[in-house]
Structure 1
Amino acid sequence: MSVMSAPYASKGSVSLGISTRLVFHSDEKRVSFPALNDTDKPLLFHGQVLTRDKLRFSPNFIVTPEVVHLQPGERKLAQVVQLNSQLPEDRESLFYLRGHFIPAAAESENGAGIGLSTSYVLTMKMFYRPAKLKDDYDAIDDVTHELDFKLNEKTLKVINKSAYFLTLNSLRSEKAEIPVPNEVSMIDPFGHVEIPLADPDIRSITWTLLNDGGFATKPLTQDL
């Protein structure tokens, strides 16, 4: 059995959610998301919420129903349900929603042995957003300006002054695009990251973020 892992899958496969991220508003207690089987075989879907390190199941959430039967081409809703609210109230918390799409029945070849089947494992970010924070769809768009940039020799320090996880979508100087390593593209609430610069002789930074829908925000520019 082979396993495919990705944030989402294209047509002819499976998909989880409608974006690359899921926002869980604390006052909702539960949030729905779609699971789609766009293959030609029946699948079983099982969802889990993992801690930030992806090594443990979160004690804060469960996914229900425990198992969802998906016929070829079928799309059904599952839910993330909050079990307890013992999470920070002054900033977002990060989790991961993982979906397992498993063949409903293993096929055999010529009646002998188990044939090759494919399971899909899809993972997406899930942000827990406390009620004290703005829960509008454009919340991230409205805090794009709360990034601050400082030159530090051959690195660019990116400071997040907001209570949200902010993910860089694009970054450029007045000269050229600045590559952002994947491991530092998301900045914790009230945290910072450092990005190496091939050319530290720059005067301004223009950036966009990914909003709740997974789309780019409007570009902003800061002089250094």
Structure 2
Amino acid sequence: MKKALLALLCAITAWPACATIVIYGTRIIYPAQRQEITVQLANRGDKPSLIQAWIDEGDPNVPPEEVKAPFLLTPPIATVTAGNGQQLRIRALPNALPQDRESLFYLNVIDIPPDNPARSGNLLKLAMQNRIKLFYRPQGIAELGEKTVGQLSARRDEQRVTLNNRSPNHITITALGAGEREQLLKATLMLAPFSQRHIAVAGLPGGVSTLTLSYLNDYGVKRQQAIPLN
């Protein structure tokens, strides 16, 4: 039992060292008019890594062979040699996705570390999983920027603030401030298109008429913008 626990502890301690595969970018935008897009991976380690990649619809527990996202991803499995890169090609398949708003999916990339014969046979071999958002954006929907965020509205109601996203984009908000209170959020939140979110707020001064929010644009860069609070 002690050996098993020690092996698990060693594996967990060594886990970050096994995360040699990185994805360039923190999010993926798939414009519907594009035939395909590419995502670049890199192996920053000193040994080859076996990777497996797939796209899911939001449930991280669904195994790759059972996902039904309308995309063809190639190659789904590849060996990336040390210090080199690998391109993943993503092609949208015929689908019935909404055309008036973005649809959200997730790209998963598992980095399976190589065997190390110098280590004990009891040591668990763990795989590191990267998971980033993939936004399928129909034609005619603008990129996420000042104009899009300008379609957010906020309403105060007793001990809460209601955010209303009237845009067809997903908007990720990392910070929300009002008056002298720089952060009203307990965690980053994402507003789906044409959706509302209630945020519990206690003791918000009555004279506050604007909210200052920080959001992530298409490139994962943090931007700041003020919106009116009614």
TM-score, normalising length: structure 2: 0.82
Offset from partner CA, 1:98-142 (integer Å, 9 cap, x none): 001113x423237x84755442100001111001312xxx53333
- Secondary structure (helix, strand or coil) at the match of 2:223 reads coil
Offset from partner CA, 1:59-84 (integer Å, 9 cap, x none): 30132012222111111211122122
Is 1:170 the counterpart of 2:175 in the alignment?
yes
Is 1:20 the counterpart of 2:26 in the alignment?
yes
* Higher-Rg member (1/2): 2
* Structure 2 unaligned spans of 5+: 1-7
- TM-aligned CA distance change 1:3 to 1:132, over 3 Å: farther
5 Å-filtered alignment, 1:44-193, equals: 44-56=50-62, 57-103=67-113, 105-109=114-118, 113=121, 117-134=125-142, 138-182=143-187, 185-193=189-197
How far, CA to CA, are the matches of 2:58 and 2:224 in structure 1? 28
Aligned residue pairs, count: 213
How far, CA to CA, are the matches of 1:164 and 1:157 in structure 2? 18
Is 1:210 the counterpart of 2:216 in the alignment?
yes
How far, CA to CA, are the matches of 2:40 and 2:118 in structure 1? 33
**AA aligned opposite 2:118:** E
* Structure 1 unaligned spans of 5+: none
- Secondary structure (helix, strand or coil) at the match of 1:143 reads helix
- TM-aligned CA distance change 1:55 to 1:26, over 3 Å: farther
**2:3 corresponding residue in structure 1:** none
Q: Is the 8 A contact 2:21 2:43 kept in 1?
A: yes
How far, CA to CA, are the matches of 1:179 and 1:72 in structure 2? 44
Q: Is the 8 A contact 1:108 1:114 kept in 2?
A: no
- The one of 181, 194, 199 aligned to 2:198: 194
Percentage of matched positions with identical amino acids: 23
Deviation at 1:217, TM superposition (A): 2.3
